[in-house]
Amino acid sequence: MTRQIYMDYNATAPMPPRVIEAVASSLGQVGNPSSVHRFGRLARRAIEGAREAVAQAVGAKPAEILFTSGGSEANNLALKGAGRARILASAVEHDSVLAAVSAVERIPVDRDGIVDLTALDRMLNTDPTPALLSVMLANNETGAIQPIAEVVRVARAHGALVHCDAVQGLGRMAFDLPALDVDFASLSAHKLGGPMGTGALYVRDGMVLQAQIAGGGQERSQRAGTPNLSGIVGFGVVAQQSRDDLQAMERVRELRDRLETGLKRLQPSVRIFADNVARLPNTSCFAVAGLDSETQVIALDLAGIAVSAGSACSSGRVQSSHVLRAMGADPTLSGSAIRVSLGWQNEERDIDEFLTAWGSLLVRHAKSLQTETAA
């Protein structure tokens, strides 16, 4: 069997053994954190320990962290629960932001996917309705990092609240939520090697959200339901580790740079998206006109290499990426984009095998590529 190489960490990341052990051992523990007896108290303690670890990873206070079932729920809770009538989001946000409420106004982005601050200012000027802005920390498809501090400055000048989807940032770039001065921020465990089904919403001290899931009064009455104990415990473990992950990211950055150097060597006309701006160290989204995404992911899968043709969240719908479209990418180019996102398990030889497989793909499609270049 071919060696399997996983390069789709922005879809989900494999769990390190110590996280699996913590999760599996927690699964066997009985106890509802709401129960007052010993089993309940032990469960509660485990959750509060994890809350501290998650808070610490983003510079927040434990009381500012609400656990949710994941990033999508956290985004929905922030956008629906903040009580603002007008919601603006960058055009490259995740679907769970863009679809959270029916009338999200899209803030345009530039060629690299960076939010247009002048346009944002203009949009806020034209309508005095109290607004909530949602701008992601780093894009899931291209890795482009948004200037959140500047977005917040513009927002404050107009009395707008700011939500930041930081799901792709945690463990991949250093950030401190109170320093960024955002009001809300979404986090997810499984993007950095924690368990699926667990996320969190940072709610700045003093802000209160209208619960979207009502019930037993858990999570300071902003998110009801028996908490996902094993998931939260696992989240705590990866959060605790996330500062160290950042150091490991330097190694990942070298791998990513090695990949991109190789891509350019093999095909000088390759377009690497968002390469003029600060990006996550693990993400590379690129395209060669004439070499469509589908062809590439199928051939790479046969070679045992898992990458993505855009976001994993579109649940089977084949459509070109709204992110690349918003960046003004030509449809033929965005239809040729693939995303490589790396993580803790990747090694140099993974990159080399990728380049070998991709290189032979180029050779096989040399004819159609030539036509495309000539045309």
Partner 1 sequence: MSLELKTNIPEKNGSGVARGSNAPKMPIYLDYQATTPCDPRVVEAMLPYFTEKFGNPHSRNHQYGWEAEEGVEKARAQVAAIIGADEREVIFTSGATESNNLAIKGVMRFHKDKRNHMITTVTEHKCVLDSARHMEMEGVEVTYLPVQQNGLVDLEKLKAAITPKTALVSIMAVNNEIGVIQPLAEIGKICREHGVYFHTDAAQAVGKIPLDVNAMNIDLLSISGHKIYGPKGIGALFVRRKPRVRLEALIHGGGQERGFRSGTLPTPLCVGLGEACAIAQREMGAEAERLRFLRNRLLEGITKALPEVYVNGDLEQRIPGNINISFAYVEGEGLMMGIKNLSVSSGSACTSASLEPSYVLRALGVEEELAHTSIRFGLGRFTTEQEVDYAVEHVVSAVKRLRELSPLWEMAQEGIDIKSIEWSGH
Q: Count the residues of the shown chain that bind partner 1, applying the rule CB under 8 A.
A: 77
> What is the spatial distance between Cα 183 and Cα 164, in angstroms, rounded to a whole number?
8
- Least CB distance from residue 22 to partner 1, whole Å? 11
Nearer to partner 1 by Cβ, of 124 and 339: the residue is 339
C-beta closer to partner 1: residue 6 or 202: 6
Binding to partner 1, residues 223-242 (CB under 8 A): 224-231
285 has catalytic annotation = no
Alpha-carbon dihedral angle through residues 109, 112, 117, 122, given to the nearest 10 degrees = -30
255 token code pair: 């791998």
Q: Could you tell me the smallest distance in angstroms from the CB atom of residue 358 to partner 1?
A: 14
Alpha carbon distance 221, 239 (integer Å): 24
The HSE-up count of residue 96 (CA atoms within 13 Å, CB side) is: 23
- List binders of partner 1 among 57-96 (CB under 8 A): 68-73, 75-76, 94-96
Q: Which is nearer to partner 1, 24 or 174 (CB)?
A: 24
| Catalytic residue from among 174, 214, 312, 313 | 313
* Range 196-225, binding partner 1 (CB under 8 A): 196-198, 212-218, 224-225
Helix (H, G, I), strand (E, B) or coil at 179: helix
Q: Report residue 77 CA to chain centroid gap.
A: 17
Q: Does 301 bind partner 1 (CB under 8 A)?
A: yes
CB atoms inside a 10 Å sphere around CB 275: 15
Indicate whether 173 belongs to the interface with partner 1 (CB under 8 A). no
Closest CA to 186 of 288, 64, 92: 64
> Is residue 171 near partner 1 by the rule CB under 8 A?
no
Which residues is 106 bridged to in the sheet? 89
- Alpha helix stretches (DSSP H) within 269-347: 293-302, 322-326, 331-334
Stretch that binds partner 1, among 105-113, 123-131, 133-141, 192-200 (CB under 8 A): 192-200
Region binding partner 1 by CB under 8 A among candidate stretches 7-15, 248-256, 350-358, 360-368: 7-15
Q: Per-residue x/- mask for partner 1, residues 316 to 355, rule CB under 8 A?
A: xx--------------------------------------
Considering only residues 91-130, where is the footprint of partner 1 by CB under 8 A? 94-97, 99-101
Contact region for partner 1 (CB under 8 A) — 82-90, 127-135, 246-254, 305-313?
A: 305-313
Distance from chain centroid for Cα 346: 19
* 39 vs 372 by CB, closer to partner 1: 39
The amino acid sitting at 125 is: N
Of the pair 30, 179, the CB lying nearest partner 1 is at: 30
| Nearest-approach distance from CB 301 to partner 1, in angstroms | 5
Phi, psi of 162 (to 5 degrees): -125, 130
Q: Quick one: tokens of 36?
A: 């007052």
The rounded distance, in Å, linking the Cα atoms of 180 and 137 is 10
**Residue 81, number of CB atoms within 10 A of its CB:** 20
Among residues 15, 55, 92, 337, which is the contact residue for partner 1, using CB under 8 A?
A: 15
